[in-house]
C-alpha cells in the first residue's frame, strides 16, 4: 500500500522536511509539532489518471482522443483514449 499526503508539497531542492504521521492520518512537523497535512492510505490500485483532464477541451483536441463518442447522451471513452491519458500515479503491484 501507499500513502497520499494531502495538503503538502515536496520541499525545495536541497532542503528536507521532517514529519510525523500519526495513526489517525494527522501529519505533524517533527520540529514544531504543528499539524501540517493529512495522510491517507491508498488501497491497491491500477494506473490512476486525471479523469477531469481527460474531459478538458485541450485534451479533446489531442489526436488519440478522436475516438470518443456520445452514446445515450453520455461521453463514452474508447480504450485508446483512456490508455493514452496522462498517468498521475503509477499502478501499484498487488502481492
Containing domain of residue 35, as a range?
2-42
29: in domain: yes
What's the rounded Cα separation, in Å, for the pair 37 and 80? 36
Please list, in sequence order, all residues whose beta carbon lies within 8 angstroms of the beta carbon of residue 51, skipping any fewer than 6 positions away.
Answer: none
Q: How far does CA 13 lie from the centroid of its chain?
A: 22
Are 37 and 62 in a shared domain? no
C-alpha cell at 63: 489526436
Domain tally for the chain? Answer: 2
Are 56 and 28 in a shared domain? no
94: in domain: no
The single residue listed with the C-alpha cell 532542503 is 15
* Per-residue H/E/C for 29-95: ECCCCCEEEEEEEECCCCCEECHHHHCCHHHHCCHHHCCCEEECCEEECCHHHHHCCCEEECCCCCC
Are 53 and 76 in a shared domain? yes
77: in domain: yes
95: in domain: no
**pLDDT tens digit at each of 95 positions of the chain:** 889 999 999 999 999 999 999 999 999 999 999 999 999 999 999 999 887 877 765 565 555 554 455 556 666 667 777 787 888 899 987 65
Amino acid at each position: 500500500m501507499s500513502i497520499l499526503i494531502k495538503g503538502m508539497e515536496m520541499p525545495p531542492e536541497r532542503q528536507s522536511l521532517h514529519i510525523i504521521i500519526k495513526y489517525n492520518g494527522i501529519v505533524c512537523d517533527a520540529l514544531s509539532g504543528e499539524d501540517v497535512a493529512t495522510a491517507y492510505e491508498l488501497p491497491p490500485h491500477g494506473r490512476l489518471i486525471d479523469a477531469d483532464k481527460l474531459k478538458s477541451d485541450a485534451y479533446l483536441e489531442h489526436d488519440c482522443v478522436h475516438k470518443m463518442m456520445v452514446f445515450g447522451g453520455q461521453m463514452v471513452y474508447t480504450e485508446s483514449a483512456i490508455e493514452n491519458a496522462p498517468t498521475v500515479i503509477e499502478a501499484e503491484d498487488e502481492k
